[in-house]
Amino acid sequence: MPEQFKLIEEKFSEIYQEKQWIYSCLLTLIINKKKINKITITDHTWRKKGRKQITKELILDILKEKLNKKTIKPTNYPKRKVFKRKGIDYQSKKYKIVFWFENNDPNWLWIRVCHQQD
């Protein structure tokens, strides 16, 4: 199976106190009718006690298997439009994912939160 996402950069943000992984998207991934070329996934689960760790690989699988070609309505936050999708069924579990389009770039998805729902 060909690689579907390629890791471009892995870093730690001192400003946000989190790890960040930036991927290029090698498959055709469409979200909100926009072709996604770049994805940033952040790891700040340490801020939420009791939450199970979700791997970046699981997040990428959820994107391609469950959110590809989907339209998700935004929730307006003061700084940007944020998209929340709750109750994503994947491998007999439910997940919540929160993302936005970084720097108003319609091709760059920034995933801030993904966790399993009980």
Q: What is the pLDDT of residues 14-26, one digit of tens each?
A: 988 888 999 999 9
Q: If 0-12 CB within 10 Å is exposed, 13-18 middle and 19+ buried, where does residue 69 land?
A: exposed
- The SS3 call for residue 96 is strand
The per-residue pLDDT for range 30-79, each reduced to its tens digit, is: 999 999 999 999 875 555 555 566 788 889 999 999 999 999 988 877 77
Q: Quote the CA–CA distance of 96 and 99 in Å, as a whole number.
A: 10
Q: Quote the CA–CA distance of 1 and 19 in Å, as a whole number.
A: 28
Q: What percent of the chain has pLDDT over 90?
A: 47
Task: State pTM to two decimals.
Answer: 0.85
Contact 20, 75 (CB under 8 A): no
- The SS3 call for residue 13 is strand
Q: Please, which pLDDT band fits residue 2 given cuts at 50, 70 and 90?
A: low
**What's the mean pLDDT in 82-105?**
88
* DSSP alpha helix (H) spans, 3-91: 56-62
Contact 13, 29 (CB under 8 A): no
Residue 39: its pLDDT value, please? 95
Contact 106, 67 (CB under 8 A): no
Residue 1: its pLDDT value, please? 40
Total domains, the chain: 1
| Domain ranges, residue 51 | 5-117
Residue 10: its pLDDT value, please? 94
**What's the mean pLDDT in 94-105?**
87
Which phi and psi angles does 15 have, rounded to 5°? -60, -50
